[in-house]
Amino acid sequence: MTLILSNDDVEKLLTMPDCIEALEAAYEELAEGRGVSRQRSDCITPTTWSEDAIYGLKSMDGVIPRLGVGAIRINSDIIRNPLVGNTRRRVKVPAAPNDRYVGLVLLFSTHNGEPLAMFPDGVLQHIRVGATNGLGVKYMARKNAETVGILGSGWQAETQLTAACAVRDIKSIRCFSPSRENREAFSARMSEVLGIPVTPVDQPEDAIRGVDIAMCGSNSTDPIFFKQWIEPGMHLSSIKKPEIEPAAIKSADKVVVHTHDPGPILVVAKGAKFTEESKGEGWNKRHGIDFDKMPTLPDMIVGRYAGRDDDKQVTCFLNNLGLGYQFAAAGSVIYKRAKEQGVGHELPTDWFTETVHP
Amino acid sequence: MTLILSNDDVEKLLTMPDCIEALEAAYEELAEGRGVSRQRSDCITPTTWSEDAIYGLKSMDGVIPRLGVGAIRINSDIIRNPLVGNTRRRVKVPAAPNDRYVGLVLLFSTHNGEPLAMFPDGVLQHIRVGATNGLGVKYMARKNAETVGILGSGWQAETQLTAACAVRDIKSIRCFSPSRENREAFSARMSEVLGIPVTPVDQPEDAIRGVDIAMCGSNSTDPIFFKQWIEPGMHLSSIKKPEIEPAAIKSADKVVVHTHDPGPILVVAKGAKFTEESKGEGWNKRHGIDFDKMPTLPDMIVGRYAGRDDDKQVTCFLNNLGLGYQFAAAGSVIYKRAKEQGVGHELPTDWFTETVHP
């Protein structure tokens, strides 16, 4: 039988420690060349949804024989690019029936090729970002790190904190985000979830001052963490390039990047009003930072690079890009737990396989 | 609702003329840059299935706003490379439960992104190859062509003949394939299917002599059609590069290739016993044939290249490579017909969409 799982199922099935452990094994395979990751591709065209929107069919995949799975993640997006202030923001529209988004993960067996499971990508998308930065903390933060400052109060901030708590014995957290209401609600909720005090503060500096681990978990496309906030022994963590000021990145003793994957292959149709919002190559060049020369998370996991040499060093982990490969790693855990716990809709595997030679 | 269709459904829903018409519209869009086709990617790793096998997760996609669809085709293959004679043959193993292959097409709406349908790729895989060469016949064979010689007696040969009959008023066909039993059974069956005489012959030359259209539809990796068989006004058609002897290709007045797509991006894991069997770049160089300089089928469909100038010319169409884009084109027809006829299993679209922002 092939399992159809929901986001609710994924949320119940995949714990952060499980996801971190699966990713760690997967990165070891990737570093050794035994696992493979395929570069994301984005097909972009106009859509009849609206004049100012585009359609995007995006896919990324990866295969991890050691975990017995291959996965492909597919997004079928309607995207608008409204002008917010001076910046064009990229906004996914929940245009599918019942105001829903379309993101799917298909999981296959490397043993016999069969489709094992299908599930939406949303919850996993969140957890895998946290888990990746959690590995950054595990390999780069001081072993005795026990305080975290977080900038942000959305789902990214939530998974960042959960991941940090999974790899270090965190005793207390301070949180800043621009909206008082948001940071207070988030802090109250996360105090309960994590069982440790999470304190909202009025200024970003107040969240960062004196902490062992400074985490960015925002949706900002501009820097939110600055060089003058750095203290000896601190670990910096970001979920995308622009969050940490380039001067801060340059002044860290150790900087590790998630991956050297070059990012999406774009195939853009004539007439698609496509505005690339990512501060990619242009950003790198402007700030004289060459991500391709930095060691990667997989390098660090297999011991080719030491994430920290002593307790005085400032370390920095940059989660520059997601990989389909991560969905295979986490997917293997989700599938295993779903089978153990009897979760999900079972459909006949014959519906998704064939006797005709393809 | 999202439709789950079977190969049997696809076979009933998709007629050859429908498929040819959809592909024709799709190639026009591709030539004009309004449709987009993403290069295939193959992730190749070892498998626990057997020591001499590999696992392949392959995907290709394309989007055609004019037809309202995007499609991704996914193959999850166990592949052996046994030595047959002096050649390594690439053999897909039906390793999934109940001895089945795994090939899937997912169809999405470019209007709102929703997943419209999922179906196995096998039957469509066959029809689209035929339909593509059918367009070669339509744009390159003489208007008054009425006889076909076919080399081959498998499913490729079947769809080649069906396609030729869909675009020309074919009166008779001669068929050669190495096994007498196969060519006789095939000819008898195709006579009934097509309603015109299909005659088995003992030598390949006998199938080709005097015909207007010479078609190759074999699984041979060596030439099966030779220069000395060419006659004035003949149209030659092949489903893969090696079938027609290079000297024959060079002596044709007009040669058109399906696509300039560079073929799969290979991502190969350490330890995968991967033997590339395709006579790709090596073949081109050895024979001094530069496919990239030839006009393509889309060029011809939009009138940038004339497939034939007069009735004396020898024309040649080479179907060098398949595209995910073709699955989108044919998929749009399959979906439309399935909705009209109420065919397929309906599953809640909510199972494949989400409220969580991906």
Could you report the per-residue pLDDT of B4-19, keeping only the tens digit for each?
A: 999 999 999 999 999 9
Q: Which of A44, A58, A63 to mutate to test the interface with B (most CBs of B within 10 A)?
A: A63
What is the pLDDT averaged over residues B210-230?
Answer: 94
Q: Which residues in chain A have their CB less than 8 angstroms from residue B70's CB?
A: 43, 45, 55, 57, 76
In the block, residue with structure tokens 């105001």: A99
Q: Please give the C-alpha separations between residue A329 and each of A72, A123, A128, A293, B103, in angstroms, as whole numbers.
A: 11, 14, 9, 26, 22
Q: Across-strand partners of A296?
A: A257
Angle at B285 between CA B282 and CA B290, to 5 degrees: 120
Share of chain B above pLDDT 90, in %: 86
Q: Please give the C-alpha separations between residue B188 and each of B165, B196, B199, B218, in angstroms, as whole numbers.
A: 16, 10, 8, 18
Q: What is the pLDDT of residue B276?
A: 61
Interchain CB contact of B43 with A (< 8 Å): yes
Interchain CB contact of A106 with B (< 8 Å): yes
Could you report the per-residue pLDDT of A242-253, keeping only the tens digit for each?
A: 899 999 999 999
What is the pLDDT averaged over residues A273-288?
Answer: 68
* Nearest-angstrom CA–CA distance, B136 and B156: 15
Least CB–CB distance from B97: residue in A98, A104, A114: A114
Token output for A290: 């060459």
Q: What is the pLDDT of residue B281?
A: 61
Q: Which residues in chain B have their CB less than 8 angstroms from residue A94's CB?
A: 355
Interchain CB contact of B219 with A (< 8 Å): no
CB contact under 8 A, A70 and B57: yes
Q: Looking at residue A86, what DSSP letter applies?
A: T
**pLDDT greater at residue B93 or residue B285:** B93
Q: Answer yes or no: are the C-beta atoms of B210 and B232 closer than 8 Å.
A: no
Q: Which residues in chain A have their CB less than 8 angstroms from residue B115's CB?
A: 76, 96, 102, 104
Cβ-proximal residues to A248 (8 Å cutoff; 6+ apart), any chain: A223, A225, A226, A227, A229, A230, A236, A316
What is the pLDDT averaged over residues B110-130?
Answer: 97
Q: How far is A65 from chain B (nearest CA, A)?
A: 7
Terminal C-alpha separation, chain A: 21
Could you report the per-residue pLDDT of B22-52, keeping only the tens digit for each?
A: 999 999 999 999 999 999 999 999 999 999 8
Angle at A292 between CA A290 and CA A298, to 5 degrees: 135
Residue B342, sorted as left (phi over 0), alpha (psi -120 to 50) or beta, turns out to be: left
Name the nearest CA neighbour of A160 among A209, A215, A213. Answer: A215
Terminal C-alpha separation, chain B: 21
In the block, residue with structure tokens 């007009």: B254
CB contact under 8 A, A39 and B265: yes
CATH superfamily of A129-265+275-318: NAD(P)-binding Rossmann-like Domain (3.40.50.720)
- pLDDT at position B81 over 90: no
Q: How far is A141 from chain B (nearest CA, A)?
A: 29
- pLDDT at position A278 over 50: no
Could you report the per-residue pLDDT of A181-222, keeping only the tens digit for each?
A: 999 999 999 999 999 999 999 999 999 999 999 999 988 878
Phi, psi (deg, nearest 5) at residue A296: -105, 165
pLDDT confidence bin for A279, thresholds 50/70/90: very low
- For chain B, the structural domain boundaries read 2-125+324-352, 129-265+277-318
pLDDT confidence bin for A44, thresholds 50/70/90: very high
Q: Which of B60, B125, B345, B356 to mutate to test the interface with A (most CBs of A within 10 A)?
A: B356
Could you report the per-residue pLDDT of B129-182, keeping only the tens digit for each?
A: 999 999 999 999 999 999 999 999 999 999 999 999 999 999 999 999 999 999
Name the nearest CA neighbour of B248 among B293, B206, B216. Answer: B216
CB contact under 8 A, B352 and A70: no
Amino acid code (one letter) for A223: P
What is the pLDDT averaged over residues B70-74?
Answer: 98
Q: Answer yes or no: are the C-beta atoms of B109 and B68 closer than 8 Å.
A: yes
- Mean pLDDT across chain A, nearest whole number? 94
CB contact under 8 A, A115 and B76: yes
Q: Answer yes or no: are the C-beta atoms of A138 and A22 closer than 8 Å.
A: no
- pLDDT at position A43 over 60: yes
Q: Which residues in chain B have their CB less than 8 angstroms from residue A31's CB?
A: none
pLDDT confidence bin for B283, thresholds 50/70/90: confident
Q: Which helix H or strand E contains B118, and what residues bound it?
A: strand B115-120
For B190, other C-beta atoms within 10 Å of its C-beta total 23
Q: How far is B37 from chain A (nearest CA, A)?
A: 7
Q: Answer yes or no: are the C-beta atoms of B260 and B37 closer than 8 Å.
A: no
- Give the side-chain half-sphere CA count within 13 A for B210: 4
What is the pLDDT averaged over residues B296-317?
Answer: 98
pLDDT confidence bin for B291, thresholds 50/70/90: confident
* Nearest-angstrom CA–CA distance, B275 and B90: 8
pTM confidence score: 0.95
Least CB–CB distance from B267: residue in A36, A347, A356: A36
Name the nearest CA neighbour of B113 among A80, A118, A57. Answer: A57
Q: Answer yes or no: are the C-beta atoms of B316 and B254 closer than 8 Å.
A: yes
* Nearest-angstrom CA–CA distance, B105 and B331: 8
Interchain CB contact of A150 with B (< 8 Å): no
Q: How far is A278 from chain B (nearest CA, A)?
A: 17
* Nearest-angstrom CA–CA distance, B123 and B100: 14
CB contact under 8 A, A354 and B72: no
- pLDDT at position A154 over 50: yes
CATH class entry, domain A2-125+323-352 = alpha beta
Amino acid code (one letter) for A96: A
- List the CATH code of the domain at B2-125+324-352: 3.30.1780.10
* Nearest-angstrom CA–CA distance, B227 and B252: 9
Q: Which residues in chain A have their CB less than 8 angstroms from residue B36's CB?
A: 43-45, 267-269
Interchain CB contact of A173 with B (< 8 Å): no
**Residue-by-residue DSSP string for B93-158:** E--BTTTBB-EEEEEEETTT--EEEEEESHHHHHHHHHHHHHHHHHHHS-TT--EEEEE--SHHHH
CATH superfamily of B129-265+277-318: NAD(P)-binding Rossmann-like Domain (3.40.50.720)
Q: Please give the C-alpha separations between residue B11 and each of A198, A351, B120, B161, in angstroms, as whole numbers.
A: 60, 15, 11, 16
Q: Answer yes or no: are the C-beta atoms of B113 and B4 closer than 8 Å.
A: no
Interchain CB contact of A75 with B (< 8 Å): yes
Q: Which of B61, B76, B121, B156 to mutate to test the interface with A (most CBs of A within 10 A)?
A: B76
Q: Which residues in chain A have their CB less than 8 angstroms from residue B55's CB?
A: 63, 65, 70, 110, 113
Amino acid code (one letter) for B353: T
Q: What is the pLDDT of residue A287?
A: 83
Q: What is the pLDDT of residue B183?
A: 97
Indicate the Cα dihedral angle B126, B130, B135, B141, nearest 10°.
170
Cβ-proximal residues to B282 (8 Å cutoff; 6+ apart), any chain: none
Q: How far is B330 from chain A (nearest CA, A)?
A: 16
Interchain CB contact of B103 with A (< 8 Å): yes
Rg of chain B, C-alpha, whole Å: 20
Q: Which of B3, B12, B28, B36 to mutate to test the interface with A (most CBs of A within 10 A)?
A: B36
Interchain CB contact of B191 with A (< 8 Å): no
Q: How far is B227 from chain A (nearest CA, A)?
A: 31
* Nearest-angstrom CA–CA distance, B179 and B186: 11
What is the pLDDT averaged over residues B67-73?
Answer: 98
pLDDT confidence bin for B278, thresholds 50/70/90: very low
Cβ-proximal residues to B153 (8 Å cutoff; 6+ apart), any chain: B175, B177, B179, B182, B183, B185, B186, B187
CB contact under 8 A, A36 and B94: no
Interchain CB contact of B49 with A (< 8 Å): yes
Q: How far is A76 from chain B (nearest CA, A)?
A: 5
Q: Answer yes or no: are the C-beta atoms of A193 and A173 closer than 8 Å.
A: no
Q: Looking at residue B343, what DSSP letter applies?
A: -
CB contact under 8 A, A106 and B102: no
Could you report the per-residue pLDDT of A300-352, keeping only the tens digit for each?
A: 999 999 999 999 999 999 998 899 999 999 999 999 999 999 999 999 999 99
Q: Answer yes or no: are the C-beta atoms of A173 and A147 closer than 8 Å.
A: yes
Interchain CB contact of A348 with B (< 8 Å): no
Token output for B130: 């035929």
Q: What is the pLDDT of residue B280?
A: 55
* Nearest-angstrom CA–CA distance, A76 and A90: 15
Q: Please give the C-alpha separations between residue A14 and each of A4, A23, A327, in angstroms, as whole numbers.
A: 15, 12, 12
**Pairing state of beta strands A172-176 and A213-216?**
unpaired
| SS3 annotation, A91-116 | EEECCECCCEECEEEEEEECCCCCEE
> Which residues 250-289 in chain A show a CB within 8 A of chain B?
265, 267-271
Interchain CB contact of A37 with B (< 8 Å): yes
Least confident segment among A158-162, A330-334, B263-267 = B263-267
* Nearest-angstrom CA–CA distance, A100 and A26: 31
Q: Is the dihedral of CA A16, A22, A23, A28 positive or negative?
A: positive
**pLDDT greater at residue A357 or residue A208:** A208
